[in-house]
Amino acid sequence: MSETEATVKSLRRTGRYFIAVAVLLGLGLLYNGYRTFDLSKDTKQDIRAVSLEACERGNESRVARIVNYRRDIDGLQADIRFVAQFTPVLPADGPLRDWSRSKHRAITYKQQAIDAEIDAIARYATSPGSPVIDCEAAYPPL
């Protein structure tokens, strides 16, 4: 056998070993990834407990934001009613008319914000139109 043939056989043998080691290493990594992907029962319970707590805090925060929006709307409507008393004596165009239009736009924007908050959680809301999520349904046991 010539030196070239011996070198080729040696390279083939090395290549086969390399492929075998790579395949075994890949299988080991797949097994390790699968094993670490599976969470323990305690970890799953901890994740769910944290998710439920965050959901409850989210409910409180969302309700508070909506209450604030509604209070703002009530205040804007009171301002508009107050100025409406003087509407007969106001000029057709002027700063008070612009002010009134801006108050109406603010009411519209705040109402849209309320609608967006409620629509964002509609899938898990405790009832239609409610700003409160049913946390148990939103975060079932893992």
* Residue 17 confidence (pLDDT): 82
68 plus 102 within the same structural domain? yes
User: Residue 125: helix, strand or coil by DSSP?
Assistant: strand
**34 and 53, same structural domain?**
no
Stated pTM of the model: 0.63
How confident is the prediction along the chain (142 residues), in pLDDT tens digits per residue?
Answer: 677 777 777 777 887 888 888 888 888 877 776 666 666 778 888 889 999 999 999 999 999 999 999 999 999 999 888 877 776 666 667 777 788 888 889 999 999 999 999 998 888 888 888 889 999 888 888 7
Verify that 15 and 81 share a domain, yes or no: no
- 54 and 25 within one domain: no
Clarify whether residues 86 and 30 are in a common domain: no
* The predicted structure's pLDDT at residue 40: 75
Q: 131, 118, 136: which is closest to 49 by C-alpha?
A: 136
Range(s) of the domain holding residue 54: 40-138
Same domain, 24 and 2: yes
Q: Are residues 90 and 134 in the same domain?
A: yes
* Domain count along the chain: 2
